[in-house]
Structure 1
């Protein structure tokens, strides 16, 4: 990792949840934060994912590297206990995780099971509430919380199915957390990237068609990448964004403005 070229985040402590590999949005965030001087805590989903994430955490010199499956009791608390013990504080939290059972994700909303809807909502949305509850006492001097959404939260995107309502709920959670945590100097941002070729997105039906359509509709004429998303999130964590909170930030080349 080269030395920071503009260490505007120097001294800040950032927890990035959702790194799966070097193509994931969370990796783009971690890379941007580190290149701007922040110190990182990185989590991995399970032992199957660990070999893909551990080399990345080592390259970032991340002093905290732990498993985190939000469906497993105690793992979330263990991560924040480690942060409290090693750092004593936290400045940045990135929530970049989502899940729905494949059958519920690839079927229409009418066919989504109650169990599948509940799991999607718990992992993709309510886990942010749980993280925020644990992170808030560590953000003693204020901080920034960021959650990843998508255009399907606000407009119908064919084949996005159950994740549309779930991401809409996630954006609403961010707004209400922004209201509740604003007096503590904590800002909360839903960020809505354009479609990206990530492992998570590959579970969507006809995803390649979605990518091609987004590229053709984007006013800038091309798709965004994980670095675009990462540095946009890094900006939100800087003092330059100190009066921003609660609004969904689209990082999609302008696709969201098109009819």
Structure 2
């Protein structure tokens, strides 16, 4: 990504959700770093750390820390660390989602109440909690991103419980954009086309989604993590200072095709 201009010089960005070098969050991290941003990144747990920490080191991340949003106190500790080290934050990227496998792979009617609640907490409400902690650090304004998918607004076979959950996430982004707009904080729900990430491996017949996306989108190409990262870097820059709240599709135009 050597052709990216340093449009984010002096920018501090927290990127949550890197699992490996195929993660959407990693595509965002590389794009933001190439654009001049300083990075804070997280890993989920001790099992994930050996896969994520070397990526952060290679990117020169100034802050690296564990974050499991289901563990009490970890989110607050992370933002305390950011406040102590940087004193401010310019962007937040939330790229995490989870549903228990048995609830994800069954239809919505068969999803348990506990599984639905857990999917909603990790995949949606954690973004609201992050936004509440991030906003006071965005002293000169900022940008928040949450990763969604087309299944939030139309039925996608086998997406199941994650459809309603992502719909809630997009709605949360709209309401946060409204509430935080007077602080010059912009909020973007990002809807990439299907990507072959570790998270997507839990979706039944995911390869069919990839094939359909490539064949049906106007550009007839799949997007990749660099496409998502570059678009988010632009949206975090002053060039996009009047854009907020609406879902941004990075899918080769697939969302316009019935």
Question: Under a length normalisation based on structure 2, what TM-score does the superposition of the two structures give?
Answer: 0.99
Contact 1:149 / 1:167 at 8 angstroms: preserved in 2?
A: yes
- Quote how far apart the aligned CAs of 1:5 are: 5.0
How far apart, CA to CA, are the structure 1 residues paired with 2:81 and 2:203? 35
- Quote how far apart the aligned CAs of 1:3 are: 7.8
How far apart, CA to CA, are the structure 2 residues paired with 1:56 and 1:44? 11
Contact 1:4 / 1:34 at 8 angstroms: preserved in 2?
A: no
- Match for residue 113 of structure 2? 114
How far apart, CA to CA, are the structure 1 residues paired with 2:2 and 2:23? 23
Secondary structure of the corresponding residue to residue 187 of structure 2 = strand
- Quote how far apart the aligned CAs of 1:6 are: 1.5
Contact 1:4 / 1:37 at 8 angstroms: preserved in 2?
A: no
* Structure 1 outlier segments of 4+, above 3 Å: 2-5
How far apart, CA to CA, are the structure 2 residues paired with 1:225 and 1:87? 31
Runs of at least 5 residues in structure 2 that lack an aligned partner in the other structure: none
In structure 2, do the counterparts of structure 1 residues 52 and 253 end up closer, same or farther at CA, with 3 Å as the change threshold? same
How far apart, CA to CA, are the structure 1 residues paired with 2:4 and 2:145? 23
Secondary structure of the corresponding residue to residue 10 of structure 1 = coil
Secondary structure of the corresponding residue to residue 81 of structure 2 = helix
How far apart, CA to CA, are the structure 1 residues paired with 2:191 and 2:4? 27
- Quote how far apart the aligned CAs of 1:162 are: 0.1
Secondary structure of the corresponding residue to residue 158 of structure 1 = coil
Contact 1:220 / 1:253 at 8 angstroms: preserved in 2?
A: yes
- Match for residue 179 of structure 2? 180
- Match for residue 142 of structure 1? 141
Query: What is the CA deviation profile of residues 175-229 of structure 1, one whole-angstrom value per residue up to 9, with x for unaligned ones?
Result: 0000000000000000000000000000000001111111110110110000000
How far apart, CA to CA, are the structure 1 residues paired with 2:10 and 2:4? 14
Q: Superposed, which structure 2 residues align to 1:22-61 within 5 Å?
A: 22-61=21-60
How far apart, CA to CA, are the structure 2 residues paired with 1:240 and 1:109? 41
Contact 1:151 / 1:192 at 8 angstroms: preserved in 2?
A: yes
How far apart, CA to CA, are the structure 2 residues paired with 1:40 and 1:60? 8
- Match for residue 206 of structure 2? 207
How far apart, CA to CA, are the structure 2 residues paired with 1:58 and 1:250? 30
How far apart, CA to CA, are the structure 2 residues paired with 1:169 and 1:239? 28
Secondary structure of the corresponding residue to residue 223 of structure 1 = coil
- Match for residue 11 of structure 2? 12
Query: What is the CA deviation profile of residues 106-126 of structure 1, one whole-angstrom value per residue up to 9, with x for unaligned ones?
Result: 000000000000000000000
**In the alignment, is residue 124 of structure 1 matched against residue 123 of structure 2?**
yes
- Quote how far apart the aligned CAs of 1:252 are: 0.3
How far apart, CA to CA, are the structure 1 residues paired with 2:87 and 2:238? 21
Query: What is the CA deviation profile of residues 118-159 of structure 1, one whole-angstrom value per residue up to 9, with x for unaligned ones?
Result: 000000000001000000000000000000000000000000
In structure 2, do the counterparts of structure 1 residues 113 and 251 end up closer, same or farther at CA, with 3 Å as the change threshold? same
Question: Under a length normalisation based on structure 1, what TM-score does the superposition of the two structures give?
Answer: 0.98
- Quote how far apart the aligned CAs of 1:58 are: 0.1
Secondary structure of the corresponding residue to residue 121 of structure 1 = helix
Runs of at least 5 residues in structure 1 that lack an aligned partner in the other structure: none
How far apart, CA to CA, are the structure 1 residues paired with 2:25 and 2:13? 12
- Match for residue 157 of structure 1? 156
Secondary structure of the corresponding residue to residue 13 of structure 2 = strand
How far apart, CA to CA, are the structure 1 residues paired with 2:3 and 2:47? 32
Q: Superposed, which structure 2 residues align to 1:191-202 within 5 Å?
A: 191-202=190-201
